[in-house]
Amino acid sequence: MIDGFDTWWLMPLAAGLLLAVSAGPLGSFVVWRRMAFFGDTLAHGALLGVTFGVLTDLNPTLALVLGSVALALVLLPLQLASRLSADTLLGIVSHGTLAIGLVALSLTDGVRVDLMGYLFGDLLAINEDHVLWLIASTVLTLTVLIVFWDSILAVTVSPELAKIEGRPVLLLDLVLIMLLALTVALAMKVVGILLISALLIMPPAAAHALSRGPRRMAAIASVIGIVSVAVGMWSSFHWDTPAGPSIVVTAMLLFVASLLVPRRN
């Protein structure tokens, strides 16, 4: 208690706000590169990380991060080498890894896993350990994006031109994918596997109508994400609704509202 007020909600709020800050600029690149399905695939595959953590008694958060990063490292060369279209390949990997994870979890005898919490998020179960992970992830994501902004943006706009300019295209792609994998893994506790892409793409999509340049769009996306978390959590407490879906519903309403804003020339 602080000055007569409960403080149990501070940890979930901090986790949600930290995720919103990093998801704004990172989600902007997801929108520009049309990588929403890639984020879904990482989220579904992260369930294998949960299974690995259960079987090895590893820290759940660390298991999630390792699972997402490992899948991202496999997906990048797989996309480059496969003859299938990107959406077909990602669809196969996404649903395949999700199914394998669910089956594997069902076969773990004597171990109870909060599957609904992983699928739809369990923001109120956030602990100090997860917040520390989010702090480290947010600082790392913002630092990398600020330092390499011009290069990552150049690769996003035109990989061919960026390669001619001497920029390390594959390395920059790998850096962006690793940041996305880390964010997706840590977002599972906040909004869940099934809603992670929504938190990545809705704020940047809403920010698009309010911005004239990439930097401003990324900044506004973070602000919209923060508002979504704050209002979503308030509505969750007020009406006793699930926190993760409430945040996503708020982000969706803000996106719909942005459609009413006159487009800037």
What is the C-alpha to C-alpha distance for residues 63 and 265, in angstroms, rounded to an integer? 46
pLDDT digits (tens, 9 = 90+) for 172-229: 999 999 999 999 999 888 888 878 889 999 999 999 988 889 999 999 999 999 999 9
3-state secondary structure of 42: helix
* Residue closest to 185 by CA, chosen among 108, 70, 87, 102: 70
Has residue 98 been placed in a domain?
Answer: yes
Burial class (CB in 10 A: 0-12, 13-18, 19+), 3: exposed
Structure tokens belonging to residue 106: 């069902």
The number of folded domains in the chain is 1
Has residue 164 been placed in a domain?
Answer: yes
pLDDT digits (tens, 9 = 90+) for 52-99: 887 788 888 888 888 888 888 888 888 777 777 777 888 888 888 888
Beta bridge partners of 5: 2
Q: How confident is the model at residue 7 (pLDDT cuts 50, 70, 90)?
A: low
Has residue 241 been placed in a domain?
Answer: no
What is the C-alpha to C-alpha distance for residues 48 and 108, in angstroms, rounded to an integer? 13
Has residue 264 been placed in a domain?
Answer: no
Has residue 120 been placed in a domain?
Answer: yes
pLDDT at 5: 41
Other beta carbons less than 10 A from residue 27's beta carbon = 31
Has residue 212 been placed in a domain?
Answer: no
Burial 153-174 (b: 16+ CB within 10 A, else e): bbbbeebeebeeeebebeebbe
What is the C-alpha to C-alpha distance for residues 84 and 197, in angstroms, rounded to an integer? 23
Has residue 152 been placed in a domain?
Answer: yes
Contact between 20 and 222 (Cβ < 8 Å): yes
Contact between 96 and 74 (Cβ < 8 Å): no
What's the CATH code of the domain at 77?
A: 1.10.3470.10
- Domain that residue 72 falls in: 10-194
pLDDT digits (tens, 9 = 90+) for 247-264: 999 999 999 999 988 765
The whole-model pTM stands at 0.89
